[in-house]
Amino acid sequence: MQKEVERLLQAGAIRELHYSTWLSNTVVMKKKNGKWRVCVDFTNLNQACPKDSFPLPKIDQLVDATTRHNRMSFLDAFQGYHQIALSTEDREKTAFITPLGIYCYKVMPFSLKNAGATYQRMVTKMFKDQIGRTMEIYIDDMVVKSKLSQNHLEDLMETFRTLRLHKLRLNASKCVFRVSFGKFLGFMVSHRGTTFKWDDSCVAAFEDLKRYLSSPLLLSNPAPVEPLILYLAVFEWAVSAILIRIKDTVQCPIIRCKPCFKSSTSLAWISKWGAKIGALDVKYLPKTAIKGQVLADFVAEFTPALEHKELNAIAFQEDSPENSEWWKIHTDGASNAKGSGTGVVIITPDETVIEQSIQLDFKASNNKAEYEAVLARLNSAKTLGAKNLIIHCDSLLIASQINGENMARDECMAAYLLKVQQNMTNFNTIRVEQIGRNLNNHVDALATLASVLSADSKWFIPIKTLAAPSIALPTCHIYTITVGPCWMDPYVLYLKEGILPE
């Protein structure tokens, strides 16, 4: 670590930093040539940076474009990323900690998320006249190619002129010149094409493939009294079951059941199935190993959902009794500098519209006003004898909290949510739906009316006044603070009266 820091300091790639707003850890990794590389973990910094979507070349296309050339020269940039300077205002963000102190990069480090895209953009602009003609580049790996051997020297001279112009340095230990074949991006390329090498890793992969294909998972024959395991997977449109037996600690499938729901008659039999299964000797036990469960999930998940839409309609009909009477409630709350109020519209099953505005005689935010509107209408619906309610609310936050999709983190909102949940127990069925404000203009006007008009205004809509919130407010504690002598008193006295401190 110390040697690497000293080397980077001598090269001018880093500098010492005393105060930093960003700080990253360092990791030491060994390179192929035996040297050590100090890498910085920029995980937090990378998450805060937007992604640079500059496209990287496709490796297979570069390899195909390099083959069939008589002469090639392979070039590698010397610590390519470090040849791009960082802007002064961004250097402190690359600060990293070492045993010797805190340092930051003056050049682009290797671990940044957009380092590769930035370097590729630079070399693409530098060699735009040669790429595809005499050069192929993938970040810091470059190859100069020539169809004719006698033209290769001229192509190299053109490349080096561009390198000198932009002061881009090469790593001489990794450069190879005037060869007919070589390794480029992990592939052996030559004038005859791409060369495939059958090595030990290929042999091992081929043997694993043969071993897997020669031992497929076959159906097993269970013993008469052997205990079996049934894995279930239930989706909206299919049910899958895998029957498993344990053979020498290996789970072997026996049979697969895949009944698909085809009509509403299938749903009617679910309760009867439960009664019949209860009479059989079937035990439900939690299993820690779920290898068989994967098979059941796979079958159910990939079962064609041809009846999906039909099932949704059937399920909705089952949940909604034919003879049930639905009451529709639209609520909205308004809070402004003049006051707070709520508006409510109740639509009975016979399409009778009941309107009401409630003026809140206390300070309330928009969310509190929304909750007060919901609570007021639940009480009114209970008085009117409603049993099935559909509440329309234009606040996504309130609707998601009541439906249990979001959590009420604020203490006051949690108290309102608990109050609503308690009042909802007085009804058989309640659905809370979020709608757009353009569909809630009626109650929006009522809520605004209650917030700007007084209760004694001559209006045909009754305006009530709610003096206190529906929930108990938290207690406000007042503490007395006594100010004692302070070290600044002599200086304040000097500034006021000109008396020097002792």
Say if residues 419 and 470 touch (Cβ distance below 8 Å): yes
How many of the other CB atoms lie within 10 Å of CB of 160? Answer: 13
Rounded distance between C-alpha atoms, residue 454 and residue 362, angstroms: 13
Q: Which residue ranges form the domains of the chain, and what is each CATH number?
A: 1-190 (3.30.70.270), 200-264+286-302 (no CATH), 327-451 (3.30.420.10)
Nearest partner of 44 among 115, 95, 80, judged by Cα: 95
SS (H, E, C) 191-241: CCEEECCCCHHHHHHHHHHHHHHHCCCCCCCCCCCCCCEEEEEECCCEEEE
Rounded distance between C-alpha atoms, residue 48 and residue 106, angstroms: 20
Kindly report, residue by residue over 264-295, the tens digit of the pLDDT: 444 445 555 555 655 555 554 555 545 555 55
Give the model's pLDDT for residue 316.
40
Q: Which amino acid is at 236?
A: E
Give the model's pLDDT for residue 285.
53
Instruction: Identify the helix (H) or strand (E) that includes residue 104.
Output: strand 101-105
Give the model's pLDDT for residue 297.
61
Say if residues 434 and 390 touch (Cβ distance below 8 Å): no
Say if residues 259 and 271 touch (Cβ distance below 8 Å): no
Provide the 8-state DSSP code for 302: T
Q: Which amino acid is at 270?
A: I
Give the model's pLDDT for residue 58.
86
Rounded distance between C-alpha atoms, residue 242 and residue 254, angstroms: 7
Rounded distance between C-alpha atoms, residue 69 and residue 229, angstroms: 63
Task: Calculate Rg over the CA atoms of the chain.
Answer: 37
- The secondary structure of 41-95 as a DSSP string is E-HHHHHHSPP--PPPPPHHHHHHHHSS-SEEEEEEBTTGGGGSBPPGGGGGGG-
pTM of this structure: 0.41
Length of the chain: 502
Q: Enumerate the H helices of 102-187 as residue ranges.
A: 115-126, 152-166
Residue 402: phi and psi, rounded to 5, are -65, -40
Nearest partner of 244 among 205, 294, 316, judged by Cα: 294
Q: Which residues of the chain have pLDDT under 70?
A: 193-196, 216-219, 236-237, 255-324, 332-341, 437-466, 473-481, 483
Rounded distance between C-alpha atoms, residue 76 and residue 33, angstroms: 15
Q: Enumerate the H helices of 279-410 as residue ranges.
A: 291-301, 308-319, 366-384, 396-402
Name 80's bridge partners: none
**Residue 116, CB-side half-sphere exposure with 13 Å CA sphere:** 11
Say if residues 490 and 433 touch (Cβ distance below 8 Å): no
Give the model's pLDDT for residue 302.
54
Say if residues 240 and 249 touch (Cβ distance below 8 Å): no
How many of the other CB atoms lie within 10 Å of CB of 190? Answer: 17
Rounded distance between C-alpha atoms, residue 69 and residue 190, angstroms: 7
